[in-house]
Amino acid sequence: MEQTNCDRCQAPLVPGAAYCEVCGERTRKARRLVRLAIRVEMLLLVLFVVLIFGFTWVFLQQKP
């Protein structure tokens, strides 16, 4: 269901809007998308760190 009014100021929203034109508050859909993007970025960061530690461990195991 699409949000029709702003949660903060109750102004009507343009269909498909990410922000309220009156007060600048994000819509619920925009907040969900931002949270999803942050989760994906954190997952990629963790995978990158694990990959670096894995390669470092393998490298250190090969030294005599």
3-class secondary structure, 37: helix
Q: In this predicted structure, what is the pLDDT of residue 50?
A: 98
Q: What is the pLDDT of residues 10-59, one digit of tens each?
A: 999 999 999 999 999 999 999 999 999 999 999 999 999 999 999 999 99
d(CA 12, CA 17): 10
Q: Token pair for residue 38?
A: 């942050």
d(CA 26, CA 13): 11
Q: Taking a C-beta distance cutoff of 8 angstroms, is the pair 38, 22 a contact?
A: no
d(CA 63, CA 44): 29
Q: What is the pLDDT of residues 45-57, one digit of tens each?
A: 999 999 999 999 9
pTM: 0.76
Q: Token pair for residue 3?
A: 């949000």
1 pLDDT band, cuts 50/70/90, is confident
